[in-house]
Amino acid sequence: LREEYPSRLYCAFSVFPSPKVSDTVIEPYNTVLSFHQLVENSDECFAIDNEALYDICLRTLRIPKPTYHDLNHLVALAMSGLTCCLRFPGQLNADLRKLAVNLVPFPRLHFFMTGFAPLTSR
């Protein structure tokens, strides 16, 4: 994609694994191996911690046993909040290129931690 569309920004939303949520042994290895691809092939990478999602569902939203549906709902809310500037016109809205210009000091340091407020349960 980079060769065919060189002027486009590539954003990645990556959920990093946690032993609390999944018991698959190879998830940390897959994360380490895919990290190189994120560094080389994306312009902005929004990192989402799976353990933090689980703790938010458990403590803040008071869901006694969070499911993948609950975790995915939080990720979807964060993604829609980050990309709303692309969907709605206005003077206050910025685009992802301005975000990258202002927040990425070096090309290889393009990892952002996402935040979202207010948190509400469904």
Q: What per-residue confidence (pLDDT) applies to 93?
A: 63
Report whether pLDDT(69) > 90. yes
CA distances to 5, 46, 79, 96 from 87, rounded to whole Å, are 21, 18, 12, 12
Cβ neighbourhood burial of 55 (10 Å; 0-12, 13-18, 19+): middle
**Per-residue model confidence as pLDDT tens digits over 34-56:** 888 888 888 888 889 888 999 99
